[in-house]
A and B are shown apart, each in its own frame.
Chain A
Amino acid sequence: MEILLQQIINGLTTGSVYAVVALGYTMVYGVIQLINFAHGEVVMIGAMVAFSIITALAGSSMPPLIIVLAGVMAAIPACMLMGYLLERVAYRPLRHAPRLAPLITAIGMSIILQHLALMVWGRSPLAFPQIIDNRVFGVGGAAISSVQIAIILLSLTMMAGLSWFVYRTRFGIAIRATAENVHVAGLMGVNADRVIAATFVIGAGLGAVAGVMYGTYYGIAHYTMGFSLGLKAFSAAVLGGIGNIAGAMLGGLLLGLVEALGTGYVGELTDLCTWPMAQGWLAEQCADGGHFVVFGSNYQEVFAFLMLILVLVFRPSGLLGERVSERA
């Protein structure tokens, strides 16, 4: 029971980060049907920028919270600018090209950004300086740290803020209208270039915060961290129904939970010593309460992609990706 609760807490923490990153994929896809594979790298650069600032300020007498905030505040505009430039330089010239061209470009931009980060920050990971007092609270036998609480609350706030923006403001409605029909939105006076640039910039801004949260949670930031984080967040977006904002949030949280629970239980479930039929020929290994674990918790990375495959096979449109009929 404690393991279950603990893994739910851990899953909600990583899941809310996946959800925030997934929003960046899904918003861009919703408007221009492009999978911006460089988004994970934007998130990574957010973490790297913030960590550099935080490390530089760590020795000063400033309060730790202010230092972390300074890091985040530097990462957000840096990533927003990067998101804007990505769209302007790499994708806009290919807007009317065959769809494969921007996709390949996205992969290319991902590689370029990764190596740019390698040149700037080097090969070794940046460690999060020990400046915050990460207190741990007990809940029903499980533990939740103040960093986890902060990550979950901040993510939920950002998701609520984005939902309000997209569903309640005039520009948000214009984004959804453009996602549905860019030509008709143009007839209403919506400048499609501006809407498309905005989705990149907003997604990158959210991604910057997500990158800092992810890095803070694991204590390190590295130039390759954007790859697996990005791929998982992309899986989360597909799981929820790519292009669907609520779907990205749901998909992210769900993916985090499945990953945490899978990692938490896979060892126990695949311990052949608990399987009656295997006990005969594993008698030696299982003697005296021994274990013979087939898949250990190092299989963590598998769950996200297993889930992606299952969704693509059984519900390709994603959990919330239902299409409303265009014609009555």
Chain B
Amino acid sequence: MLAVMELQVHYGGIAAVKGISFAVEENEIVCLIGANGAGKTSTLKALARMIPSHGEIHYGDQRIETLPSHELIAMGLALVPEGRGVFARLTVAENLMMGAYHRNDAKGIGADLERIHALLPRLMERRNQVAGTLSGGEQQMLAIGRALMGRPRLLLLDEPSMGLAPLMVQKVFEVVRKVAAEGVTVLLVEQNARLALEVCSRGYVMESGSITIADTSAALLADARVRTAYLGE
């Protein structure tokens, strides 16, 4: 579904992503783990065309590296950005409406609202509240719900656990699992490697702009290098 070849991202003269290649198959949950500053967020931003990059990005049977960011959601590619990026001054309902901005099927949008209502009941209780007044966890749920309103086929998630209390992190990951179970392919970027590897089937380890290890989650959880560097053992 997604194949990345020799992806490079530069900020000024500094290389943040140094020619990485990886792939995500349909219906997989794949994670990209690594320390702060390894280039994970830059990789996702490049995939969502929010920053310029070099290298090939194949999505389905199309090349998307030359497309503008706003054309991707209609193709089924959604990103939940780092720090959630909810529209703080818009209400919860308006945020969700923005998620479906590119769609014109009022019926389908209504059905998806129902679906998200079932998935995130707490959120819907606050639908007329301004999103900036939600807690961090609720904002993360809203960001995911908003992305789902676009009916994505591939969901890119950037650090959904960031800044959340452990209990909330559990809930967020539960939602990610449910979303994946509904047939959405997920590429998950996380610093919390243990949690990420528990929901993912495969993982890539990123270190200072390069992918150093690629394996199944089970193998990564057993890998001595991963255990000492990312699992704190």
Contact = CB atoms under 8 A, between A and B. Distances in A.
Interface in B75-116: 78-79, 81, 83, 85, 87-90, 94, 97-99, 101-102
A328 B102 contact: no
B73 A188 contact: yes
B185 interface: no
A173 B94 contact: yes
Nearest to B85: A184
Nearest to B49: A186
Contact of B98 (A173, A183, A324, A326): A173
B87 A183 contact: no
Name the interface size band of chain B: 20 to 34
A189 interface: yes
A187 B69 contact: yes
Contact of B70 (A170, A181, A190, A327): A190
B84 to A, nearest CB: 9
Contacts of B150: 188-189
- Does more than half of chain A's interface fall in helix, strand or loop, or is it mixed? helix
A181 B72 CA distance: 17
A166 to B, nearest CB: 11
B74 A189 contact: yes
B1 to A, nearest CB: 19
A170 B98 CA distance: 8
Interface of A: 170, 173-174, 176-177, 180-181, 183-192, 324-328
Given A173-B98, A187-B78, 8 more contacts: A170-B101, A177-B87, A180-B87, A180-B89, A185-B87, A187-B73, A188-B99, A190-B101
Interface of B: 48, 50, 68-74, 78-79, 81, 83, 85, 87-90, 94, 97-99, 101-102, 130, 132-136, 138-139, 146, 150
9 contacts: A170-B97, A176-B89, A177-B87, A183-B81, A186-B69, A187-B81, A326-B88, A326-B132, A328-B133
